[in-house]
Structure 1
Amino acid sequence: MEKTSGVGVLDRVALILGALEAGPATLAGLVTTTGLTRPTVHRLAVALERLRLVTRDAAGRFTLGPRLSELSAAAGEDHLLTTAGPVLTRLRDATGESAQLYRRQGDERICVAAVERLAGLRDTVPVGVALPMRVGSAAQVLLAWEEPERLYRGLRGARFTATTLSGVRRRGWAQSVGDREPDVASVSAPVRGPSGQVVAAVSVSGPVRRLTRHPGAHLSRTVVEAAARLTEALRRPGTPERRPVTTSAGNAVGGTLEKGVLAGEEA
């Protein structure tokens, strides 16, 4: 017998979500599966839809909503950060440029991990700094696969267009040149959680004079491969490689990145 919480409305919500775990369902199907009355199922399903815990497919059937994937991704944050250190270090070493990992938080993107270029010109952004979602290749990646309503809302005031994001989805990566700062270029690719939803963006960035005005032409494959390694790690959790990460001062940091310890170039 299924355990109950003792709180009636929560138990009924759990029944509906549990029924949708098997796939999309009509209102009548949910009534049959849950044993709840039609008015109750309709009232709760519509409320869950407003909270994005439930959505509807093209046929009008109820299905699990994107908010559940977002919550699942947040629950996996620690594993993502633990895995990010070695992957970003390899990316930095392969490209010779700073590498970062960004996550979206509302109308901003947060640099949650970074490995800095060891020497030479670089524009650093401390881990934990919030950057706008209106500019940069990482912002394009974090927005490109959003549901339509959130995508078009995110385009308001952005320096890129819906056509730009269509190209990002087609290629699987984004680039920017002088978006947020006139002399900085970057290339980013999506990291996906177990459900396939984009949960983060991996980036490399540096001066335009090194990356050129078409940085994706020579960096995209390497960045996409790094993002794929993080995606695979999230789908198959385990003990990550404990390769040390060094700060700009040359101090070694373990595989788990500590907030504020590392900084990367602006994307």
Structure 2
Amino acid sequence: MEQLSGVGVLDKAALVLTAVETSPASLGDLVARTGLTRATAHRLAVALEVHRLVGRDPSGRFVPGPRLAAGGAAPLPWALLAAAAPVLAHLRDTTGESTQLYVRRGDVRVCVAAAERASGLRDTVPVGTMLPMTAGSGAQVLLAFGADPFPGRDARALPTTGTVGRAEGAPAGAAEPPAGAVFGASTLERVRRRGWAESVGEREAGLASVSAPVRDATGRVVAALSLSGPVERLTRSPGQRHGAAVAAAAERLSG
């Protein structure tokens, strides 16, 4: 293996991080992509997982962890990440549904924190899971508020009601739905208008969710706080049921 820094263990760890950034990787994939022995690849991946630089998807494959996600184009403040756990847990306990925090990394969103419902039918999204930006309320939020539409202004001070369609002053440069998205530009306009998003069966049949934007101290949206569960409980209008609670939790986590 070529030594890049002269510190062998760091160079090997960097190989593992590069390997998981490409796509989810089983242990066999890590060995093939890094050239490391199976024992070394496993030892380093597990160690990086402890430090949240590597995570696992629902199939147990290694994926970028929350700290890698936090280093993306919209950095996630460490204080916000630390504060997420109690906010997500409180929202879960008051609504009875699983809660998550997502950040965007290119054409996917990554779960960087989660609080799962303890029992019964629930939506399980492990930390480190990568989901597409083409479906789900979390994707809607990250797209709807994906560009800073009001440079130099605190977006939290702006009205969350009223007409903000693109032709009437919607966020300039705000992202359009990506190719293959199950929602359209009008959906993103509604999200910006009311301050939260909802989805029913977009990412998975029988699953519903509600999401709201989390902002940093400048008002820039850096994450989406989500609540998800079966349609049987959330109904086909999950936003009416939980929109206010999710938006309030996202506001508590903002800034």
Q: Shorter-normalised TM-score: what interval?
A: 0.5 to 0.7
Give the distance between the partners of 2:226 and 2:130, measured in 1 at CA: 15
Q: Which residue is 2:32 aligned to?
A: none
Give the distance between the partners of 1:208 and 1:192, measured in 2 at CA: 28
Q: Which residue is 2:195 aligned to?
A: 172
Give the distance between the partners of 1:199 and 1:110, measured in 2 at CA: 12
Q: Which residue is 2:75 aligned to?
A: 74
Give the distance between the partners of 2:104 and 2:182, measured in 1 at CA: 17
Q: What is the 5 A alignment of 1:248-259? A: none
Q: CA deviation at 1:123?
A: 2.8
Q: Which residue is 2:223 aligned to?
A: 200
Q: Which residue is 2:164 aligned to?
A: none
> TM (normalized to structure 2)?
0.60
Q: CA deviation at 1:194?
A: 1.3
Q: Is the 8 A contact 2:144 2:174 kept in 1?
A: no
Instruction: Describe the SS at the equivalent of 1:99.
Output: strand
Aligned residue identity for 1:181: E
Q: Is the 8 A contact 1:103 1:109 kept in 2?
A: yes
> TM (normalized to structure 1)?
0.58
Q: Which residue is 1:127 aligned to?
A: 127
**Counterparts in 2 of 1:120 and 1:146: CA distance versus 1, 3 Å:** same
Give the distance between the partners of 1:196 and 1:85, measured in 2 at CA: 21
Q: Is the 8 A contact 1:73 1:193 kept in 2?
A: no
Instruction: Describe the SS at the equivalent of 1:125.
Output: coil
Q: Is the 8 A contact 1:155 1:161 kept in 2?
A: no
Give the distance between the partners of 1:86 and 1:149, measured in 2 at CA: 34
Q: Is the 8 A contact 2:211 2:227 kept in 1?
A: yes
Q: What is the 5 A alignment of 1:86-165? A: 86-147=86-147, 148-149=172-173, 151-152=175-176, 154-165=177-188
Q: What is the 5 A alignment of 1:227-266? A: 227-231=250-254, 235=255
Aligned residue identity for 1:121: L
Q: Which residue is 1:216 aligned to?
A: 239
Give the distance between the partners of 2:123 and 2:72, measured in 1 at CA: 32
Aligned residue identity for 1:171: R
Give the distance between the partners of 1:123 and 1:219, measured in 2 at CA: 16
Q: Is the 8 A contact 2:104 2:223 kept in 1?
A: yes
Superposed CA RMSD in Å reads 1.7
**Counterparts in 2 of 1:71 and 1:122: CA distance versus 1, 3 Å:** closer
Q: Is the 8 A contact 1:102 1:202 kept in 2?
A: yes
**Counterparts in 2 of 1:177 and 1:170: CA distance versus 1, 3 Å:** same
Q: CA deviation at 1:129?
A: 0.8
Give the distance between the partners of 1:75 and 1:218, measured in 2 at CA: 29
Larger radius of gyration: 1
Aligned residue identity for 1:106: G
Poorly superposed stretches of 4+, deviation over 3 Å: 70-73, 147-150
What is the aligned residue count? 161
Give the distance between the partners of 1:157 and 1:150, measured in 2 at CA: 18
Give the distance between the partners of 1:142 and 1:200, measured in 2 at CA: 7
Residue ranges of structure 1 left out of the alignment (5+ in a row): 1-69, 236-267
Q: CA deviation at 1:150?
A: 5.9
Aligned residue identity for 2:110: I
Q: Whose RCO is larger (CA < 8 A, sep 6+)?
A: 1
Percent identity reads 58
Q: Is the 8 A contact 2:100 2:125 kept in 1?
A: no
